[in-house]
A and B are shown apart, each in its own frame.
Chain A
């Protein structure tokens, strides 16, 4: 990549590799480790911690298998067994698969896309810390249970159905650990999803049009959107369950007019897409690896993209499919059945494309490809049993037997573990341990042990299930004929464990291997292999210019182009170098749009993650004062996060002006406008999904009431909230005008409108709070009250958050106003969008609360 350096046609002096790499260096020391935000570091941490949780869950699986190895065993008592399968399943689903996939994406995406860094590195760091802390809370249950001696481990399985998970049946704190610990981890998943979406849409190499995006990135894009739509309802649903337990609301409590089935609905709106969230990225890995090791282009790229996108859509049409045994109208069940069969079409398309690709090429069975092959065999079997489960009669018969356990592991383990291991063997030489290959002999051993062990462990479970062995039960009778099957399963589980021991050993062993010197040892086609090995922290110093879907196969010269784009990459190669500079490109055609400063190291992501986790932790123990303190801590961290101290590096110099003149692109030292706009839109999308979930809850609860609102709970006087709503819109209008003033660069107007907007918003909030405080009922009266209050609280919290942000920014505008030009306060337009959206949401919510029940 340095070959072109000398011929650079920019007027800037050429700077050395050391000078250029300086700002990208990973901070040193313990403090440095805490403030690092770089994708290369955070990605590896994600992966490492995810595997740590995998190991823990694996040990629990082995314990269960030991207990089941022979009939009527007394090794583990029933309660402990319940805790084990709950912790095992929940860890695998929430703390292993999703973080692992996000970690891989974090690690490899910037370079696959031909860029330098993710657009919001601090958000990624935040996602990592919250994931780690959430996992620690979740696992601290073991400490509190076995050391402190309280009841701190959940026993209700990975989907925690009420009423079992309610306070009556689970009075201990185990469910609280489960709900609050996992909620923190899910927030991490959502934060990571934001980052992935923005990276793929906005930060690609110049020329990487929509149709040249590598399949893995397509897969992550769809997955990240699915996460927003799936995890958000889950977060809301588990918060409702938690306040049912803590405050005594009635969302899932039939005695108060709630409904346990509501949880199942919300859970499976998450749960089924989640299966595909866990499958699409691994499939993307396969679509990356198979062509490389077959030396052929992927057959049917548009079809594969279609398959990925349509899987994303269809997977949301499956949510009722796990409730076959709960008795809904038959006709609507059949709609879900049709979707669960139709979703086999896109999966089939992908499998067909992989087979066709291999067919046309000469597959080489190097370790990544071996694991890919393992996937095929396992997944096809899992698919077949899945179709059997989708057939309603079979489902009723084997529901809650080991058949389901077998199916689940074939799909999750087969669909996910094999491709991911393939990916790790594939990408290791570029991204892991400073560019070292994993040993391929050990790789084969690793593969065969896991593959054989897997089938030995899980195939017999199909049979056990058909013979009626129930899942989630700690033992079975002697003489039932199940003994031999279970013994085989247990042996298989230990073979799998041996396979993973080899895997971990291989990783450690690789440290003693020589560094890879070749940039592209597999002869791959995508951009990440265009950087030297080991890859420098900044990925591409000179950004590649993409002219093909397979740039490394088709382009003799990655960096050759003419015209304006040439100018852009050549300037960017030299300047700016005093801060981490990055390019944003067009969503469709990847044309350069802006040069911006990517955030560097910061302690605030860690602090925010810590404060939010502390908040959850204190709630578990009902320590509300401390929890409030944690909220204050979170707000303080957020302020610190966004505070710009205006160091010399951030001062605009004539270099920026020259860069702008040469490239024709704006140089944004306070961060990319497009990225923050995108982040705001995604935040609004997420909040909308949360709000819709609450409204769904409200409507669902409505079905349980004959009179809605119940007698004595009608709202008669809505003057205050309506007035509040009108005033709220006025404040939104003021903020909009303030944003316009920023565009016109008028400081007095900005100050005036912004000030007025904040003031009026405060009045609006006050009016509404007064109204809601004077209600004749509260959230614990019955389920109607619970749903009503929750919607109200949501609207008020939105407004309060918007107000808080605006007050802080107003303070900023007034204090620093004279130092900046008004046009530097561009983020005011983001706040205006948020305020207007909050007003819209409040209008919808008011309609649902005050109008809908009276006309339905």
Chain B
């Protein structure tokens, strides 16, 4: 490996992988808060949708795509991480990773993979109260 054929990953892939899951969590959090607050205020919480309380249904419905985005961000990072590991393995052992930019991209990928796990779990945890707490109870 020479510096010229070290891959650099596209900005979008790196960044979406790096911080995508955290931002998705922010969006999810504000949405579920908004939906529950507004839903209860507007009386939506007294109706049902798909057989369950419609506030709960709405929250679950929007949790699914956002969770998928989180997973995608994690997979992307993980893919980059694996790719960089391969490059490492192919390079001569004494050389190791000497190229700062590659090392930095690996860091971002590791970070992104772990972040996706963390925020994915938190997003899922946040739907638990929907099943345990009376919706719109004061």
Q: Report the separation of the CA atoms of residues A530 and B75 in the bound assembly, to the nearest whole angstrom.
A: 40
**Residue numbers in B under 8 Å from A590 (CB-CB):** 100
Do B107 and A338 have beta carbons less than 8 Å apart?
Answer: no
Do A329 and B29 have beta carbons less than 8 Å apart?
Answer: no
**Are A342 and B36 also in contact (CB < 8 A) when A302-B111, A310-B22 are?**
no
**Are A345 and B118 also in contact (CB < 8 A) when A302-B111, A331-B40, A589-B100 are?**
yes
Do B100 and A207 have beta carbons less than 8 Å apart?
Answer: yes
Which A-chain residue is minimally distant from B40 (CB atoms)?
A329
**Residue numbers in A under 8 Å from B36 (CB-CB):** 329, 331-332, 335
Instruction: Kindly provide the distance from the CB of B103 to the nearest chain A CB, expressed in whole angstroms.
Output: 6
**Residue numbers in B under 8 Å from A327 (CB-CB):** 138
Is A553's beta carbon under 8 Å from chain B?
Answer: no
**Residue numbers in A under 8 Å from B40 (CB-CB):** 329, 331-332
Contact with A along B31-50 (1 / 0, CB 8 A): 01100110011000000000
**Residue numbers in A under 8 Å from B114 (CB-CB):** 302-303, 306
Instruction: Kindly provide the distance from the CB of A545 to the nearest chain B CB, expressed in whole angstroms.
Output: 10
Is B76's beta carbon under 8 Å from chain A?
Answer: no
Main secondary structure of the interface of A (DSSP, over half): helix
Do B138 and A329 have beta carbons less than 8 Å apart?
Answer: yes
Contact of B122 among A209, A332, A337, A342 (CB under 8 A): A342
Contact with A along B110-129 (1 / 0, CB 8 A): 11001100110010011011
Which A-chain residue is minimally distant from B130 (CB atoms)?
A331
Which B-chain residue is minimally distant from A309 (CB atoms)?
B22
**Residue numbers in B under 8 Å from A317 (CB-CB):** 26, 29
**Are A589 and B29 also in contact (CB < 8 A) when A302-B114, A303-B114, A306-B115 are?**
no
**Residue numbers in A under 8 Å from B22 (CB-CB):** 309-310, 313
Do B128 and A332 have beta carbons less than 8 Å apart?
Answer: no
Do A210 and B104 have beta carbons less than 8 Å apart?
Answer: yes
Is A211's beta carbon under 8 Å from chain B?
Answer: yes
Contact with B along A223-267 (1 / 0, CB 8 A): 000000000000000000000000000000000000000000000
Is B78's beta carbon under 8 Å from chain A?
Answer: no
Do B33 and A332 have beta carbons less than 8 Å apart?
Answer: yes
Is B93's beta carbon under 8 Å from chain A?
Answer: no
Instruction: Kindly provide the distance from the CB of A321 to the nearest chain B CB, expressed in whole angstroms.
Output: 12
Which A-chain residue is minimally distant from B133 (CB atoms)?
A334
Contact with A along B73-116 (1 / 0, CB 8 A): 00000000000000000000000000011011011101100110
Which of B55, B119, B133 has the most chain A CB within a 10 Å cutoff?
Answer: B133
Instruction: Kindly provide the distance from the CB of A70 to the nearest chain B CB, expressed in whole angstroms.
Output: 42
Q: Report the separation of the CA atoms of residues A485 and B137 in the bound assembly, to the nearest whole angstrom.
A: 39
Do A310 and B115 have beta carbons less than 8 Å apart?
Answer: yes
Contact with B along A128-159 (1 / 0, CB 8 A): 00000000000000000000000000000000
Q: Report the separation of the CA atoms of residues A207 and B98 in the bound assembly, to the nearest whole angstrom.
A: 12
**Residue numbers in A under 8 Å from B129 (CB-CB):** 331, 334-335, 337-338
Contact with B along A183-207 (1 / 0, CB 8 A): 0000000000000000000000001
**Residue numbers in A under 8 Å from B104 (CB-CB):** 209-211, 588-589
Q: Report the separation of the CA atoms of residues A306 and B107 in the bound assembly, to the nearest whole angstrom.
A: 11
Q: Report the separation of the CA atoms of residues A329 and B136 in the bound assembly, to the nearest whole angstrom.
A: 5
Contact of A330 among B29, B101, B122, B137 (CB under 8 A): B137
Do B33 and A335 have beta carbons less than 8 Å apart?
Answer: yes
Is A726's beta carbon under 8 Å from chain B?
Answer: no
Instruction: Kindly provide the distance from the CB of B90 to the nearest chain A CB, expressed in whole angstroms.
Output: 21
Is B16's beta carbon under 8 Å from chain A?
Answer: no
Is A703's beta carbon under 8 Å from chain B?
Answer: yes
Which A-chain residue is minimally distant from B25 (CB atoms)?
A313
Q: Report the separation of the CA atoms of residues A317 and B28 in the bound assembly, to the nearest whole angstrom.
A: 11
**Are A302 and B110 also in contact (CB < 8 A) when A207-B100, A209-B103, A313-B22 are?**
yes
Q: Report the separation of the CA atoms of residues A417 and B110 in the bound assembly, to the nearest whole angstrom.
A: 33
Give 26 A-B contacts (CB < 8 Å), ordered by A residue. Answer: A209-B100, A209-B101, A210-B107, A211-B104, A302-B107, A302-B111, A309-B22, A310-B118, A317-B26, A317-B29, A329-B137, A330-B134, A331-B40, A331-B55, A331-B134, A331-B135, A332-B33, A332-B37, A332-B40, A334-B129, A334-B133, A335-B33, A335-B36, A338-B125, A547-B100, A590-B100
Question: Nearest 3 CB-CB pairs, A to B?
Answer: A211-B107, A334-B129, A209-B104
Name B residues whose Cβ lies closer than 8 Å to a Cβ of A: 19, 22, 25-26, 29, 32-33, 36-37, 40-41, 55, 100-101, 103-104, 106-108, 110-111, 114-115, 118-119, 122, 125-126, 128-130, 132-138
Name A residues whose Cβ lies closer than 8 Å to a Cβ of B: 207, 209-212, 302-303, 305-306, 309-310, 313-314, 316-317, 327-332, 334-335, 337-339, 342, 345-346, 547, 588-590, 703
Beyond known contacts A328-B37, A342-B122: 12 more, CB 8 A cutoff: A211-B104, A306-B115, A309-B22, A309-B111, A310-B22, A314-B122, A330-B137, A330-B138, A331-B129, A332-B37, A332-B40, A335-B126
